[in-house]
Amino acid sequence: MTRFYKGQSLLGLMLSLALSSFLLFVIIQFYAYAQRQNQHILLQLQLQTELQRVLHTMAKDLRRAGFRALSAKVTQENFSLFELDEKGTSLAIYPMSGESAVENNCVLFFYDLDANGCLGSTAKQCAKDEQNATSEVGRELFGYRQNGFILESRTYGNKANTKCKKAECQSYLQQNACQDLGWTKMLDEDNYEITELQLNWLDNSRQYKGLNLYLAGRLKQYPNVQYESSVIIPLLNQPQVNE
């Protein structure tokens, strides 16, 4: 008895290959999409972590603005030489360009970092004849600014004149200081770009002034990966808001 075996026709084979190719294409596309999504999430987390880190650093620093320790060893303080007005203002915000229409993206302030009762190294008489008498005063003068796409902090070190008189001492908190030397990058400019730094007063409280700090940035190599965040900073050592 002769037996006949039915094989797969050429048309059926071609349809099977076409369907298999289509399914393989869908799987590859899905895998590539999943990989891109995973990469985007990882890059987003990287950017978020870095910006949150610097935001936390800035907020922690700004909360201390104006802190003046009391010390029984000090017979003459020098804080009044650096304060911007008779109220004792020790923090100011400015636009980098000097134009009022531009966002405030530079902040300058001081505080008693080592709690010795003066700005600078300890001395019994921190000011004499209306002139500063401490050393290393630059390490207690602080600031942050947006310079192009770069976020910078102020590090005067030994560049501040330790023998300054009132007008020069005050100049370290005035707008020209935003353009002076003595600034250090806070982020790697090859990887991160700061698109906006904005500081605004919150003076709707009768108890203290506050500051709204807003920061936005992106990855330089992946401009579509962006992140923004803001924080409210109480300034308990600043003059009270007028009622």
Which helix (H) or strand (E) segment holds residue 219: the answer is strand 209-219
Q: Locate 129 and state its tokens.
A: 């004849």
Q: Output phi, psi for 5, to 5 deg.
A: -105, 130
Grade residue 48 by pLDDT with cuts at 50, 70 and 90: very high
Domain ranges within the chain, ordered by starting residue: 44-235
Give 85-103 pLDDT, tens digit per residue.
988 899 999 998 755 556 7
Q: pLDDT at residue 118 above 70?
A: yes
| Residue 129 scores a pLDDT above 90 | no
Q: Are 217 and 48 in contact (CB under 8 A)?
A: no
pLDDT at 243: 37
- Alpha carbons 192 and 157: distance in angstroms, whole number: 26
pLDDT in tens, 213-226: 999 999 999 999 99
Give CA–CA dist 201/181, Å, rounded: 26
Quote the pTM value. Answer: 0.82
CB contact set of 5 (below 8 Å; sequence gap of 6+):
none
Q: How confident is the model at residue 7 (pLDDT cuts 50, 70, 90)?
A: low
| Structure confidence by residue, pLDDT tens digits, 163-210 | 999 999 999 999 999 988 789 999 999 999 999 999 998 865 555 578
In sequence order, the 6+-apart residues with CB closer than 8 A to the CB of 142 are 61, 65, 108, 109, 110, 111, 153, 154
Alpha-carbon span 129 to 142, nearest angstrom: 25
